[in-house]
Structure 1
Amino acid sequence: MDIYSLPDYRNFEHKINGKKTHLFILKNRTGMQVAFTDYGARIVSVLVPDKAGNLRDVVLGFNSIHEYLQANEQYHGATIGRFANRIANGRFHLDDKEYTLQQNNGPNCLHGGPSGFHAKVWDRRTSFKKKIDFCYVSPDGEEGFPGNLKVTVSYELTDDNEIVIKYKAETDKKTVINLTNHAYFNLDGEGQGDVLSHILHLPSSHFLPIDENQIPLDSEASVYGTAFDFRSPKKISQDIDNDEVQLKHGNGYDHTFVNRQPISQVAASAYSPNSGIRLQVFTTEPGIQLYTGNFLSRKDTGKSGRQYSSRSAFCFETQHYPDSPNHPQFPSTVLEPGQVFESETIYKFSLVK
């Protein structure tokens, strides 16, 4: 088995547009270690103990800032904004005014545009042994979005092997916001092949069907009788290659599952029988985007020196629904001046023996 370690912090000392980048490490009493960088306020590594007591890095990523800048996949571990997921045709209306965004995913605006939050160097406001805050001010008009938006993303590592992520944002002009983290997980360890044998459980009774451009249709659909029924735990491989039009639209799973669980209850979980590592997700968000790394294409070589191929990781992206500004029946993503946007997601790791 691979011996996993954290990247060298010296490889993260760099300058992007005049701002310095760094690597930060949090550790807890159980031996779990998590590394972050202020480039994209992103998770770089998550080392957790497996059933044999060895540490495995369960998040895909790279060993240096240079590799992140050159990567084909730009979103590894990053904070995504202003608007996570897709906005159809790069357009939305707010108070009868149309806003035009860059189309960086076919006709869609994806993850806030090509220079979204994932591509920014965030400020670090406070740092403790188990907590770090990243801050960014997105100016009015950046990537086409209205309002000066002040954003804080706080990461805390608890002694219960939880990564607690708290988002906070305020604006001086009416705007839309949808934030998430885009960590790619492989509970067998980064670079350890595909995740098709991972067992997933999502209690969601409904998901959002999408069109051929991966934009949600107007209403939720029942998971009953479809490949999207994870109410009983099952392997990712069980139905992913079924002949269902929704799987063809996403080239696998790349869909939002409706979350009606309070944050005190598990909204999604994954388990690797090989490593014994389990990931549980708790969130205040109304949706979880399950993405099975369908578009990873061996163009990037990760921390272990292995290429990232299709379905070599999965994502649980807690967020509001895609294209919400163009679907008034969806939970609102509008943020008004004087309001405070707050959201919380917990990634909890444990062992199943």
Structure 2
Amino acid sequence: MCEKILFGTMPDGEPVYLCRLDNRRGTRAEILSLGGIIRGIWTVDRNGNTADVVLGQDNLQAYLENPSCSGAVIGRVANRISGGRFTLSDREYRLEQNDRGNCLHSGSGNYAARNFKVEESGEDEVVLSLRDAGKDGFPGEAAVTVRYQLTEDHTLRVAYRADVSEATPVNLTNHCYFNLGGHGRPETGDHTVMIRADYYTAADENCIPTGEILQVEGTPLDLRQARPLGEAIEELSESRWDYGGFDHNYVIAGRGFRLAAAAWDPGSGRKLEVYTDAPGMQFYTANHLNGVSKNKEGASYPKHCAYCFETQNFPDAVNIGHFPNPIVMEGGSMVTLTEFRFSVAD
């Protein structure tokens, strides 16, 4: 079932809608037209109790003022572009340098604060669209659609498509913050995390890839076997790989649509599996949160209270020739799919 509700009004008077998907089997998702934000996902625990496992805000104004892109679709190019510039067809393009001299998540032109159009909604899905005119420095236009589908087996399927008018880099993802114990719980240290990756893209102190693709074996980044997140973060903090927690791009093993990562909360029994056809995934442990502001339902969100599985192309791929090619040619399309599969495991 899909329900469309007015959530608020943009400063220019444009309505923002909340689209509620409910599989009537214990799982519900709320999607905002603003930023294509996943505002909440309610799913059951081992005792049949339901909780919202996604960090978020109560109202539109809070989202407009929120700098963390929480739950939003990120584009035109997610993650970092070194120096805020790239060259395409012998022309240099300059972007906003909003992160230590680099461009992060396409700067202020990213989709988190853009209001998508609700194109259609079916029994179990909603489709949002956005026309990106390239005002953030990227060439040409991109017609973006994102389809959210909630299945009977408790899977939120997110399908992205971008049709471009000129050759341009495209890298779309979602910046959803998960806490399987419930969004208001302050701790995730006992949650176990597994990432199916033998390699990661090495980066400098500003999270800019060096171009090296290195093995995780023998490093704190090795999450091939599920381990408690708190233990992993503590080991990471004593190493040269630390960014205040995890903020690393993993090279997901295999090709095609496959399992990329999994998380499990021993307290509730909730389990999340992430499937994708993307080559990489940025694993981020909410290192910037400080617990000061009040959020959805009055909750405080301290550091490391959640984690993100950002399925994506590699960071700065537009400037590193041996990374997967992010360029979509004139008149072409970029299509990618990610699934968040929820279950209960003892």
Matches within 5 A, 1:1-353: 12-73=7-68, 75-139=69-133, 141-242=134-235, 243-247=238-242, 250-262=243-255, 264-353=257-346
Distance in 2 of aligned mates of 1:13 and 1:157: 24
Higher strand proportion (structure 1 or 2): 2
**Contact kept in structure 2, 1:72 and 1:299, CA below 8 Å:** no
Residue identity over aligned pairs, in percent, reads: 35
Q: Offset at 1:264? A: 4.9
Could you state the TM-score of these two structures normalised by the residue count of structure 1?
Answer: 0.94
Contact 1:263 1:282 in 2 (8 A): no
Q: CA deviation at 1:71?
A: 2.3
What displacement does 1:84 show? 0.4
**Contact residue 185 and residue 313 of structure 1 kept, 8 A:** yes
Deviation of 1:53 (Å)? 0.5
Residues 53-99 of structure 1: per-residue CA shift (max 9 Å, x gap): 111100000111111112242x1110000010011111111111110
* Secondary structure at 2:156 match in 1: strand
CA contact (8 A) 2:34 2:114 kept: yes
Which secondary structure does the structure 1 equivalent of 2:293 belong to? Answer: coil
Alpha-carbon distance, 1:261 to partner: 3.2
Alpha-carbon distance between aligned partners in 1 of 2:5 and 2:11, rounded to the nearest angstrom:
16
Report if the CA contact (8 A) 1:122-1:134 is conserved.
yes
Find the residue that maps to 2:62 and give its secondary structure: helix
Output the CA distance in 2 between the equivalents of 1:300 and 1:256.
28
SS of alignment partner, residue 143 of structure 1: coil
Aligned residues: 341
Following the alignment from structure 2 to structure 1, what is the Cα–Cα distance between the partners of residues 155 and 286?
Answer: 23
Contact 2:173–2:311 (8 Å) recurs in 1: yes
Residues 1:117 and 1:151: Cα distance change in structure 2 (over 3 Å): same
Instruction: Report how far residue 18 of structure 1 moved.
Output: 3.4
1:258-300 CA deviation, whole Å, 9 max, x = no partner? 0133455321000000110000000000001100011112243
Contact 1:300 1:308 in 2 (8 A): yes
Distance 2:122 2:136 in 1: 33
Q: How far apart are 1:37 and its partner, in Å? A: 0.7
Structure 2 unaligned residues grouped into runs of 5+: none
- The one-letter code sitting in structure 2 at the alignment partner of 1:109 is C
Query: 1:92–1:98: 8 Å Cα contact kept in structure 2?
Result: yes
Counterpart of 2:66, as a letter, is A
SS at match of 1:13: strand
Whole-angstrom CA distance in 2 between matches of 1:298 and 1:107: 27
Separation of aligned partners in 2, 1:104 and 1:177: 19
1:218 shift after superposition: 0.9
> How far off its partner does 1:197 sit?
1.2
Alignment root-mean-square deviation, CA? 1.4
Counterparts in 2 of 1:261 and 1:300: CA distance versus 1, 3 Å: farther
TM-score (norm 2): 0.96
Question: Equivalents in 2 of 1:264, 1:94: separation in Å?
Answer: 29
